[in-house]
Chains A and B, each alone.
Chain A
Amino acid sequence: MTIDFRHSQSAHCENGSTSNLLRYYGVDISESLAFGIASGLFFAYMPFMKHNNLAATSFRPLPGMIFKRTAASLGIKIYRKKFRSKEASMTALDQALDQNIPVGLQVGVFHLTYFPRPYRFHFNAHNLVVYGRENGQYLISDPVMENVESLTYEDLMRVRWARGMFEPRGQMYYPVEVPAEIDLPRAIIRGIRKNCRDMLSIPFPFFGVKGIRYVSRDIKKWPEKLGEKKAPLYLGHFIRMQEEIGTGGGGFRFIYASFLQEASKILNKPRLRELSQAMTEVGDRWRDFAVIAGRIIKKRNSDAETYPAMSAILSEIADREHLIFSELKKTIP
């Protein structure tokens, strides 16, 4: 039994499963739109919170937010459930598939058999869509993979019950009610406004533009504070959060720029296209930052490629993003 589901690759798994699931119900929104409507751009740096002894860093909101916010903003009702037992979670999945419902799942990647092995960490906030069952195999549309995949019952159950941080506990989700009229402009405006608040107005120094300034100050001290061995590990962790599968490059800045470009057309606001270009330039600066970091990690950095140099780039990025979001706020009051 297969559902006529179109697999379309995306940069980020949750944007992708959101956009692919919504498209199945006739709500044709791109990955960038899903990301922007969900106010997906973020930054958090919390050095007091350690993950594998490395400072917690994030370029995205908490897992699950993209689908939740996008659906809420578009007036789409969703079903979302976590389970107590493994078997119950599989039965619920089978029942949904029997009713021709493609199902979004949160899974861990450590045991995800088709996932590239070098990327199989204990990361439990991956998303995919199951769109059928055939010869004892579940058919999988994993948004970050070029092609569709398949998993056995046991393998699928295992990744749905991954343990550790962000345990999925079999979590599954799908849209249940889609309104006849979708008010896309309203959803876009709300998404931009919230993103301006997240980047500019959270009253703690760890989040948004303030968080970027915080790293910019902190990173200069890493070599002294952490030592020659640990400082590059911090850098590596930071770069992985920024660039690893799922960000579309530059810590989601390019996806957001693509969103602003689409928003400019839909809202008929040329100013958004200009801000999109500014956002692209910031994304390029994040990449410049990563190039220096990569060379330091490989011990191939030139004399100019130093921690203070990275600090200066981050400080410039903070200034630019402050300006962009302030301008966005003016454009979408």
Chain B
Amino acid sequence: MKREQVPQDDENLMDGRGRELCYAVDENGNYVQVLSSGWAPKNAALLQAWAQINEEAKEALIRVKAGKVSPLAFFMARGMFDVALLSAYLDIPKRNIRAHLEPDNFRHLDDAMLGKYAEAFNISVDELVNWSETANILLKEKWSEFLRKDSRRDGDE
């Protein structure tokens, strides 16, 4: 890759957190470090991963709203937690988590337990309790909307 070919396909996936470093050759064939704000193929792969996560989260949300499963299911899908990982984070047995996935049990959780879940999911207890609202906000994050944006430039050159 030549220095002037280092892509700058910024789709705001760095979340306003600066650029990443790449290696490329200058006009004399010497390696130099160049900052890049993104590259279309890799952006596509990352956005695809989020589209997949969001699809699973939406499916979970439908089951939550139908009362088949507790709101934990949505946050687990969205946060990529399976029961084993969540059990490790909360330091409680897996069967407890499976129990809390029952809507009735979830409604009776105390604040301490809700706090543990909220911490693992990186949200506040309020956001966990008001899960419907939170779900709407999370599903609207800009980088979740990959497949819906058709007007975007191609930009993989």
- Interface on A for B, CB 8 Å cutoff? 9-11, 32, 52, 110-111, 114-119, 121-122, 144-147, 158, 163-164, 232-233, 235-237, 239-240, 243-245, 248-250, 254-255, 257-258, 261-262, 276-277, 280, 283-284, 287, 290-291, 293-295, 297-298, 300
Contact = CB atoms under 8 A, between A and B. Distances in A.
Interface of B: 1, 6, 13-25, 29-31, 33, 35-36, 39-50, 52, 79-81, 85, 88-89, 119, 122, 141, 143, 154, 156
A295 B80 CA distance: 26
Q: Which 4 A-B pairs have the closest CB atoms?
A: A294-B41, A146-B18, A116-B15, A258-B31
Contacts of A297: 41, 44-45, 48
Between B15, B39, B48, the greatest number of chain A beta carbons within 10 A of the residue's beta carbon is seen for B48
B122 to A, nearest CB: 6
B150 to A, nearest CB: 10
Contacts of B30: 261
Nearest to B11: A118
B13 A116 contact: yes
A243 B45 contact: yes
Nearest to B47: A118
Contacts of A258: 23, 31
The A interface is mostly helix, strand or loop, or mixed, namely helix
Contacts, number: 134
Contact of B42 (A110, A117, A240, A283): A240
A243 B20 CA distance: 11
Contact of B17 (A9, A52, A116, A240): A116
B45 A32 contact: no
B17 A115 contact: yes
A250 B31 CA distance: 14
A243 B14 contact: no
B1 A287 contact: yes
B42 A118 contact: no
B31 A295 contact: no
23 contacts: A11-B21, A11-B23, A32-B31, A110-B122, A115-B17, A144-B21, A163-B85, A163-B88, A164-B85, A243-B45, A244-B42, A244-B46, A254-B22, A254-B24, A254-B31, A255-B23, A262-B31, A276-B31, A277-B29, A291-B40, A294-B42, A295-B44, A300-B154
